């Protein structure tokens, strides 16, 4: 690629580019750019059916090419780069490229389709369990070297490194709950790690395959006292630059154990919180990947960029919902939670905000307990829009005149603001609940939400990183979990999620998962809201970048970039 291309010019800039400066530089007027997103949340008759676009893009049959710079304008900025202290997509949109896990999910060029959740070896070549699934033995891949950067300087990865990392995770941070189930570890030889759990867990390897379970370096933690300043690993890319609220630059690791990979020389992630700026960057070729929520947005881009490649994403869960402080009044009363839920017209959000290309909203991925995506009517009585019944139930709970509360959120995408405002309007209209809304920046929002420093309501999330069934149930719903951001405290859920992780039979797992979901919906423990199915859109020269059902390439599925390449 010539040195003076717009892409090269953009990635050299160190100054943070705001929306106005960016649009001026690329020759766009503010009015024209605003028009690109003005239709978000409004149905358009001209928008094509979602079936127009494939839900899976197979790997390219062509031999991969080496070289080039991949650039992406990102809505997220890492609040901190210590993987022990955050599950934020801001970090894990690239942490899976600087670091590896013991096991992983398939890359795009290995997967049979978007729902392929087969486990593959990453740092581990093989793993076995004792008959009671309390002892797991991992055989590490030999010849893996840490990145050739001080203080590691390319030394061998050994089992003691993984043992140290798991022990550090267990001591503090949001991953602690995962690793505190480890009773002890031993290293019988240099490349063998044996993990003893407190109790049986048939799903333990899936937890280690989560994007957040990356292996970090002992030397960095011991020298710095934390992992906030440097991120060094064994991954395909070396962190070359991290400038808060500006950009992240990753450089190809020439010593990566998977010889010949990665193919792309440099991956640049530009901090771009403004949606119109992200869109302008993609349309002018300064960004290679973009996420769009609605069919009309895709069609708008296609008018000026007809060669783009579009993957129609089919979500198996909704990561966002109305999180209630259900550990205190008034939301500790199930009648209040049910009333609030019935006062919200979810189908209206699907039809208008997401132009019919969305899902009603549920937590646990349906692929774990049913064959087809549920509709609103499948989600139980409290998910139905019944404002009169909601009003009666709220009065029965002692709030005939409604009440006042607060809600804070971060705008992950433009449609989210429309949803929040619709909920505010419907709660006022149907239940006389006055909701005062506060919109926060990403870092402030994330910290306040995950640390539980709030009352009332939040537009909360169940972290999008979670792929495995144990993570989606036990880790996010058990009352003792540090990842229980929705403050679920239900003894039935505790019992069912514990039983699930001790059940090896797949059919029984499916039945137990259904019981968990039914209980969650009945008690309105997490009030899920509609979410886009959305579209992942690529420049025509991108290859092997398809997203899995629970692993978007531009987010927690970032390891996919290891196998991606630029066809120029």
CATH label of the domain that carries residue 488: 3.10.105.10
Is residue 348 in some structural domain?
Answer: yes
The Cα 30–Cα 18 span in angstroms is: 12
Domain count across the chain: 1
pLDDT of residue 483: 87
* Domain membership flag for residue 95: no
Give the 3-state DSSP-derived string for 395-454, with helices as H, strands as E and coil as C: HHCCCCCCCEEEEEECCCCHHHHHHHHHHHHHHHHHHCCEEEEEECCHHHHHHHHHCCCC
Query: What are the angstrom distances between the C-alpha of 405 and each of 445, 456, 485?
Result: 17, 5, 19
**How many angstroms separate the CA atoms of 270 and 265, rounded?**
16
The reported pLDDT for the residue numbered 43 is: 36
Classify 330 in phi/psi space as left (phi over 0), alpha (psi -120 to 50) or beta.
Answer: alpha
Q: Residue 219 falls within a domain, yes or no?
A: no
Q: Is residue 352 part of a domain?
A: yes
**For position 47, what pLDDT does the model report?**
42
424 φ/ψ angles, rounded to the nearest 5 degrees: -60, -45
Lowest mean pLDDT among 40-54, 253-267, 476-490: 40-54
pLDDT above 90 as % of the chain: 79
Asked if residues 187 and 159 have their Cβ atoms less than 8 Å apart, the reply is yes
CA distances from 335 to 390, 394, 420, 525 (A): 9, 7, 22, 12
Structure confidence at residue 318 (pLDDT): 86
75-120 residue pLDDT tens? 999 988 999 999 899 999 999 999 999 999 999 999 988 889 999 9
Of 388, 408, 380, the C-alpha closest to 343 is 388
Helix segments in 238-386, DSSP class H: 275-283, 295-304, 334-342, 346-348
For residue 52, pLDDT over 90 is answered with no
Q: Which has the closest alpha carbon to 76: 314, 234, 216, 273? A: 273
Which pLDDT does position 562 carry in this prediction? 97
Q: What pLDDT score was predicted for residue 536?
A: 96
pLDDT band (50, 70, 90) for residue 12: very low
Q: Look at residue 88 and tell me if it is in a domain.
A: no
Closest CA to 266 of 288, 243, 281, 284: 288
Give me the domain span that covers residue 440. Answer: 320-531
Residue with tokens 């970048």: 545
Q: What are 74's strand-pairing partners?
A: 271
Tell me whether strands 434-439 and 404-409 are parallel, antiparallel or unpaired.
parallel
Instruction: Show the tokens assigned to 521.
Output: 């919906």
Confidence of residue 532 (pLDDT cuts 50, 70, 90): confident
Closest CA to 18 of 267, 367, 233, 276: 276
- What is the DSSP track for 200-255? --TTHHHHHTSTT-----HHHHHHHSSSSS----SSSEEEEEEETTTEEEEEE-TT
pLDDT over 90 at 472, yes or no: yes
Question: Does residue 453 register a pLDDT over 90?
Answer: no
For residue range 195-242, list pLDDT tens digits in order: 999 999 999 999 999 999 999 999 999 999 999 999 999 999 999 999
- Does the pLDDT of residue 284 top 60, yes or no? yes
Q: What six digits make up the tokens of 15?
A: 């100054």
391-428 pLDDT, tens digit per residue, is 999 999 999 999 999 999 999 888 999 999 999 999 99
Element containing residue 538 per DSSP (H, E): strand 535-538
Half-sphere exposure of 248 (CA within 13 A, CB side): 28
Question: What is the pLDDT averaged over residues 479-499?
Answer: 95
In a domain, 72, yes or no: no
pLDDT on residue 533 = 85
How far apart CA 338 and CA 324 sit, in angstroms, is 12
Task: Please answer whether residues 243 and 235 qualify as being in contact, where contact means their C-beta atoms are separated by less than 8 angstroms.
Answer: no
Q: Quick check: 555 pLDDT over 70?
A: yes
Within-domain flag for 491 = yes
pLDDT confidence bin for 3, thresholds 50/70/90: very low
SS3 category, 137: strand
Answer yes or no: are the C-beta atoms of 265 and 111 closer than 8 Å.
no
Nearest Cα residue to 501 out of 298, 197, 260: 197
Alpha helices in 459-546 (DSSP H): 469-472, 474-477, 491-500, 506-523
Average pLDDT over residues 345-364: 92
3-state secondary structure of 484: coil
* pLDDT of the residue at 45: 35
Average pLDDT, the chain: 90
Please check whether residue 14 is in contact with residue 243, taking contact to mean a CB–CB distance below 8 angstroms: yes
Least confidently predicted of 3-12, 212-221, 403-412, 452-461: 3-12
Q: Is residue 68 part of a domain?
A: no
């Amino acid at each position: 690629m010539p040195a003076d291309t717009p892409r090269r010019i953009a990635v050299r800039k160190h100054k943070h580019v705001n929306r106005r400066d960016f649009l001026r530089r690329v020759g766009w007027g503010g009015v024209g750019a605003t028009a690109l997103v003005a239709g978000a949340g409004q149905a358009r008759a001209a928008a094509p059916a979602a079936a127009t676009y494939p839900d899976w893009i197979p790997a390219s049959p062509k031999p991969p090419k080496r070289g080039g710079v991949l650039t992406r304008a990102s809505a997220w900025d890492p609040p901190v780069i210590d993987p022990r202290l955050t599950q934020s997509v801001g970090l894990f949109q690239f942490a899976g490229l600087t670091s590896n896990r013991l096991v992983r999910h398939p890359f795009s060029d290995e997967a049979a389709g978007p729902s392929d959740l087969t486990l593959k070896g990453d740092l581990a070549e093989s793993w076995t369990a004792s008959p009671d699934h309390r002892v797991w033995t991992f055989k590490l891949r030999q010849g893996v070297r840490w990145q050739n950067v001080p203080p590691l300087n390319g030394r061998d990865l050994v089992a003691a490194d993984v043992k140290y990392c798991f022990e550090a995770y267990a001591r503090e941070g949001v991953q602690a709950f995962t690793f505190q189930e480890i009773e002890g570890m031993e290293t019988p030889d240099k490349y063998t790690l044996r993990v003893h759990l407190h109790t049986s867990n048939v799903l333990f390897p899936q937890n280690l395959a989560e994007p957040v379970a990356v292996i970090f370096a002992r030397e960095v933690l011991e020298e710095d006292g934390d992992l906030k300043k440097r991120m060094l690993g064994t991954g395909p890319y070396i962190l070359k630059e991290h400038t808060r609220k500006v950009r992240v630059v990753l450089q190809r690791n020439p010593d990566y154990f998977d010889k010949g990979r990665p193919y792309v020389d440099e991956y640049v992630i530009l901090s771009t919180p403004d949606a119109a700026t992200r869109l302008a960057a993609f349309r002018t070729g300064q960004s290679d990947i973009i996420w769009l929520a609605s069919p009309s947005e895709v069609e708008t881009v296609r008018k000026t960029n007809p060669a783009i490649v579009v993957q129609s994403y089919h979500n198996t869960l909704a990561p966002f919902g109305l999180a209630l402080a259900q550990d205190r009044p008034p939301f500790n009363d199930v009648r209040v939670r049910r009333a609030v839920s019935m006062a919200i017209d979810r189908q209206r959000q699907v039809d208008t905000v997401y132009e019919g290309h969305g899902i009603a909203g549920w937590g646990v991925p349906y692929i774990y307990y049913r064959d087809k995506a549920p509709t609103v009517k499948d989600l139980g009585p409290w998910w139905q829009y019944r404002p009169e019944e909601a009003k009666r139930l709220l009065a029965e709970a002692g709030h005939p005149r409604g009440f006042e509360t607060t809600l804070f959120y971060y705008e992950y995408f433009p449609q989210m603001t429309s949803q929040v405002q619709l909920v505010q309007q419907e709660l006022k209209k149907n239940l006389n609940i006055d909701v005062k809304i506060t919109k926060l920046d990403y870092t402030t929002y994330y910290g306040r939400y995950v640390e539980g420093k709030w009352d009332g309501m939040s537009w909360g999330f169940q972290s999008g990183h979670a792929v495995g069934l144990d993570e989606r149930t036990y880790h996010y719903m058990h009352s003792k979990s540090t990842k229980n951001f929705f403050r679920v405290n239900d003894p039935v859920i505790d019992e069912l999620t514990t039983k699930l992780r001790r059940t090896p039979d797949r059919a029984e797992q499916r039945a137990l998962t259904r019981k968990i979901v039914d209980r969650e919906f009945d008690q309105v423990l997490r009030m899920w809201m509609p979410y886009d199915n959305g579209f992942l859109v690529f420049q025509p020269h991108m290859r092997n970048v398809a997203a899995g059902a629970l692993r978007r390439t531009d987010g927690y599925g970032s390891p996919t970039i290891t196998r991606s390449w630029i066809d120029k």
